[in-house]
Amino acid sequence: MNSLYSIAQPSKEAIKKQVADMLASKEYDTELLPTPEALEVIQDEINIYEGHFSNKRKTEYLAVCAPGGDFPFGFYDGMPIYLLLKYNANGKLVWYKQWYAIAEVKDINNDGKSEVICKANRCKDGKCTFEYSIMSFSGKKANMIYENHSFDNSGVMDDMQLKKGDTVSKVHEVSFSDEDNDGVSELVETVLISYYDGPGKTEDKEERIVWKYRNGKFEK
């Protein structure tokens, strides 16, 4: 893969050109790329994030591409999918993947490297689903270090012919806190669960789970 850039941070126009070239090249896995039809409607829906993704001493770049407007490159379980591309400190493309849009880039575990938080949601006919994932990078490889899946059917629960005790919603809320004061943040997952308890009523429970960062990922 040859760099198209004379400066470290890739421009939006250069990214568009490179994605188009990727589609025409046998060098890339086209199953991980948007269709030519979707690519044609790319406008300026490209966001560029900088961070220390693979090396805490070098600034690298992540680009998130979406065609114009709200039309994504595809869907996964009804969720909109975008194209993520990672460039090293010299502006060279080293990784790409179709995935959910980036919500935040931050150093979660205080190791000097930036993690990537991605989110997606879908609501249809009163039923909502939510995806949340965290990726880290080592060189050209991306690692999924945490993910959760939430759903909320509370808006239509009386139309679903539920039985008492059936789960109406299970929503994961994520925060970060140094629980043991060791300088490394733990991932605190608050799980809100609602069970059907008759028309218009639910029995609600809350669970708090602390995940520690071990062996390159978050573990309970």
pTM here is 0.82
H or E element that contains 13: helix 12-23
Alpha-carbon dihedral angle through residues 37, 38, 42, 46, given to the nearest 10 degrees:
-150
**How far is the C-alpha of 189 from the C-alpha of 117, rounded, in Å?**
14
In the block, tokens 């030519």 appear at 36
- Of 18, 7, 34, 40, the residue nearest 94 (C-alpha): 18
**N-to-C CA span, the chain:** 39
pLDDT digits (tens, 9 = 90+) for 138-194: 877 899 999 999 999 999 999 999 999 999 999 999 999 999 988 889 999 999 999
Provide the token pair at 67: 């065609």
Residue 74: CA count within 13 A, CB half-sphere: 14
> Higher confidence at residue 93 or residue 173?
173
pLDDT digits (tens, 9 = 90+) for 22-64: 766 656 565 555 555 555 545 456 788 889 999 888 888 888 8
Provide the token pair at 181: 């004061």
Provide the token pair at 139: 């060189």
- For 29, residues 6+ apart whose C-beta sits below 8 A from its C-beta are none
**How far is the C-alpha of 84 from the C-alpha of 63, rounded, in Å?**
6
CB under 8 A, 24+ apart: contacts of 99-104: 99/133, 100/131, 100/133, 101/64, 101/66, 102/47, 102/49, 102/62, 102/64
Report residue 199: phi and psi, to 5°. Answer: -55, 120
Q: Count, in order, helices (H) and strands (E) of the chain.
A: 2, 13
> Higher confidence at residue 201 or residue 38?
201
H or E element that contains 90: none
pLDDT digits (tens, 9 = 90+) for 68-86: 444 445 555 666 777 788 8
> What is the structure's pLDDT at 68?
47
